[in-house]
Chains A and B, each alone.
Chain A
Amino acid sequence: MVSKHPLPEADEQVIASRLAINAASTERLLTGFIQNEVRKVGFERVVVGLSGGIDSALSAFLAARALGPKNVLALMMPYKSSSPESLADARSVVEKLGIQSRVVEITAMADAFVAQCKPSSDKRKGNIMARTRMIVLYDQSEDFGGLVLGTSNKTELLVGYGTLYGDMASALNPLGDLYKTQVWALSEHMGVPQAIISKPPTADLWMGQTDEGELGFTYREVDEVLFQLVDERYSEAELIARGYDAGFVNKVARLVASSQFKRALPIIAKVSARTISREFRYPRDWGR
């Protein structure tokens, strides 16, 4: 997609360099994360839904390197309208890594929901598909004896571009603190197939859908704004004063605030003196 929100020229290089990562350090940190957080809860294996896109490909690469290819199960879950190229790209990851794989068609399952629920929008239908895949993923994780590995990146999580309890569901997520542009950089470093890196990102819920088309901005544009708002704590006003498009900056900030509920557990009505997660606060790795 052509950039609709060109960045102030002076900023572009500076910010690109501030967003840059040390790929070797990052790989080490994330493979260590997977090894540690999987093994200390008594597992050796993970299951990852492989869409053919870059996020799930990178998650699979990290998992294969961390746990060994035999301990990674890639699930390909095409719907009848999914593009055949997506499945071919997913298979190329499986072949390159030598990981285990299964194809579970979700058409019959999702269509049963569609027939009963009669979704009136692409959004509802997309959510049904994402949640159907989640059910398959968790069911297969039980069968395979592996934890579900997440694939949501920081950009999607911050703007709320994901289905709650659908593609956002996982036991652990190695990518959740990496912006999409950083996912691209780490994918280059780890040898994710070039075809996957260079194709336009898509949720592949309908023909011709692209993330950037649907969102109305490119990942490069939004990452530069998000990085400065979130990581560097610049205010919206400061970015606008430096020449960023006001409408765009405000829109991004609004998306972040309005999707906060997707990044939190369901809220609990406080009744007792010691409420879960208010006063009853324990690390998840309790005793691990």
Chain B
Amino acid sequence: MKVALAQIAPKLGDVHANLETHLDLIKQAKKDGVELLVFPELSLTGYFLEELAYHVGLRVDAPELQKLADAAGADMAVVAGFVEETAGYHYYISGAFIEAGGIKHLHRKVYLPTYGMFTDQRYFAEGDRVRAFDASFGRCGLLICEDIWHNSTVSILAADSANYLISINSSPGRGVVTGDRTLGSSDAVEMLNRMYAQFFTSFVIFCNRVGYEDGINFWGGSEVIGPDGECLAKAPYFEEALVCAELDPSALRRVRINLPLLRDEKLELTVREYQRILQERYGQ
């Protein structure tokens, strides 16, 4: 299965320009026979929007999203990030999994960081569900940036039988650490990607953006990690790129026979203990 990561630098607050970029890359990826093309978090709008968020919100039936679906056509899936405006005027950081002419799955970012440089929760509503879904090529889960810093989200998706973890990001670069490493923040995320692939013996499809917003850089380094923890494709740091990876779905079978971690996972025990903790914390 051919997967491509569109490591772009969205124009901040300019949906029209970003949509054109998406359509160009979809066309290019289709030529290359890509079956799944993944864009980063808020790929249609840029990330540090502040109040621009209220200018660039799209309803789920927006013509812009339909254009992505039309361009992707019948033989390609696309994941794109956008500001979702609801009928009740709540704004979410959402990711759309688009396939077969429409949105097959919508994920609303659950964990909205407000620490350090981040202000997500000042402007956005929190998503309240984490669910796997069936794409034509297999069962997937979709998470957005800060979501992956809470391992519960990935654990839920694994329990929900996701084989492909799609993680879309606007991860800022910080910490120019020494040695061969690039950045403190890229080091940490790359470790998480490998850890999730190994813990859940699943494919991790990680797309991060590049470019600068108000002096803040995004480090790129998008990658696909196989269920054995091997890196299958790696995009450059700091530069725009369209990177392809060939995924062998049969790796799931081989890895999981060798390492039946998911088979042995004790879901009931986990839930029971969580319930006990909640009872102790909030019970009478």
A286 and B178 form a contact (CB under 8 A) = no
We find that the number of chain A residues with CB closer than 8 angstroms to chain B is 22
User: Which of the candidate stretches A2-10, A17-25, A132-140 sits at the interface with the other chain?
Assistant: A17-25
B52 and A29 form a contact (CB under 8 A) = no
Apart from the given pairs A22-B176, A22-B177, A285-B213, 20 other A-B contacts in the complex at a CB distance below 8 Å: A20-B178, A28-B237, A29-B176, A29-B217, A32-B217, A33-B212, A33-B215, A33-B217, A37-B215, A280-B51, A281-B51, A282-B50, A282-B51, A283-B48, A284-B214, A285-B48, A285-B212, A287-B11, A287-B13, A288-B11
- Chain A positions within 8 Å of B11 at CB level: 287-288
A36 and B182 form a contact (CB under 8 A) = no
- Chain B positions within 8 Å of A282 at CB level: 50-52
B182 and A22 form a contact (CB under 8 A) = yes
- Interface assignment of A100: CB less than 8 Å from any CB of chain B: no
A32 and B238 form a contact (CB under 8 A) = yes
In residues 165-221 of chain B, which contact A (Cβ within 8 Å)? 173, 176-179, 181-183, 211-215, 217
B51 and A22 form a contact (CB under 8 A) = no
How far, in whole Å, are A51 and B50 apart by their CA atoms in the complex? Answer: 38
Q: Which residue of B lies closest to A279 (CB)?
A: B51
- Interface assignment of A99: CB less than 8 Å from any CB of chain B: no
- Chain B positions within 8 Å of A285 at CB level: 12, 48, 212-214
Q: Which residue of A lies closest to B213 (CB)?
A: A285
Smallest CB separation, B45 vs chain A (Å):
11
Smallest CB separation, B89 vs chain A (Å):
17
Smallest CB separation, B154 vs chain A (Å):
28
User: Top 9 nearest A-B pairs by Cβ distance?
Assistant: A36-B212, A281-B50, A21-B176, A26-B176, A20-B178, A285-B12, A287-B13, A283-B214, A284-B214
Smallest CB separation, B167 vs chain A (Å):
23
- Chain A positions within 8 Å of B211 at CB level: 36
The residue from B181, B213, B217 contacting A283, defined by CB atoms under 8 A apart: B213
Smallest CB separation, A91 vs chain B (Å):
30
- Interface assignment of A114: CB less than 8 Å from any CB of chain B: no
Smallest CB separation, B129 vs chain A (Å):
29
Task: Name, among A26, A28, A283, the residue most crowded by chain B CB atoms within 10 Å (CB to CB).
Answer: A283
How far, in whole Å, are A29 and B173 apart by their CA atoms in the complex? Answer: 9
- Chain A positions within 8 Å of B71 at CB level: none
We find that the number of chain B residues with CB closer than 8 angstroms to chain A is 26
B212 and A286 form a contact (CB under 8 A) = no
Binding site for B on A (CB under 8 A): 17, 20-22, 25-26, 28-29, 32-33, 36-37, 172, 280-288
- Interface assignment of B265: CB less than 8 Å from any CB of chain A: no
How far, in whole Å, are A281 and B9 apart by their CA atoms in the complex? Answer: 22
- Chain A positions within 8 Å of B100 at CB level: none
- Chain A positions within 8 Å of B237 at CB level: 28
Asked whether A172 and B215 contact (CB < 8 A) given A281-B50, A287-B14, the answer is: yes
Binding site for A on B (CB under 8 A): 9, 11-14, 48-52, 173, 176-179, 181-183, 211-215, 217, 237-238
A22 and B181 form a contact (CB under 8 A) = yes
How far, in whole Å, are A97 and B212 apart by their CA atoms in the complex? Answer: 26
How far, in whole Å, are A280 and B55 apart by their CA atoms in the complex? Answer: 13
- Chain B positions within 8 Å of A280 at CB level: 51
Asked whether A283 and B173 contact (CB < 8 A) given A20-B178, A29-B217, A36-B211, the answer is: no
- Chain A positions within 8 Å of B173 at CB level: 29
- Chain A positions within 8 Å of B176 at CB level: 21-22, 25-26, 29
B178 and A21 form a contact (CB under 8 A) = yes
How far, in whole Å, are A36 and B215 apart by their CA atoms in the complex? Answer: 9
How far, in whole Å, are A22 and B214 apart by their CA atoms in the complex? Answer: 22
Q: Which residue of A lies closest to B181 (CB)?
A: A22
B51 and A29 form a contact (CB under 8 A) = no
B179 and A22 form a contact (CB under 8 A) = yes
How far, in whole Å, are A239 and B48 apart by their CA atoms in the complex? Answer: 35
How far, in whole Å, are A26 and B178 apart by their CA atoms in the complex? Answer: 10
Q: What are 24 A-to-B residue pairs whose CB atoms are below 8 Å?
A: A17-B178, A20-B178, A21-B176, A22-B178, A22-B182, A25-B176, A25-B182, A28-B237, A28-B238, A29-B238, A32-B217, A32-B238, A33-B215, A36-B211, A37-B215, A282-B50, A282-B51, A283-B49, A283-B52, A285-B12, A285-B214, A286-B52, A287-B12, A288-B11
How far, in whole Å, are A284 and B213 apart by their CA atoms in the complex? Answer: 8
Task: Name, among A21, A32, A172, the residue most crowded by chain B CB atoms within 10 Å (CB to CB).
Answer: A32
A288 and B12 form a contact (CB under 8 A) = yes
- Chain A positions within 8 Å of B48 at CB level: 283, 285
B50 and A283 form a contact (CB under 8 A) = yes
Task: Name, among B179, B181, B214, B215, the residue most crowded by chain A CB atoms within 10 Å (CB to CB).
Answer: B215
- Chain B positions within 8 Å of A29 at CB level: 173, 176, 217, 238
- Chain B positions within 8 Å of A21 at CB level: 176-178
How far, in whole Å, are A282 and B13 apart by their CA atoms in the complex? Answer: 10
Q: Which residue of A lies closest to B17 (CB)?
A: A287
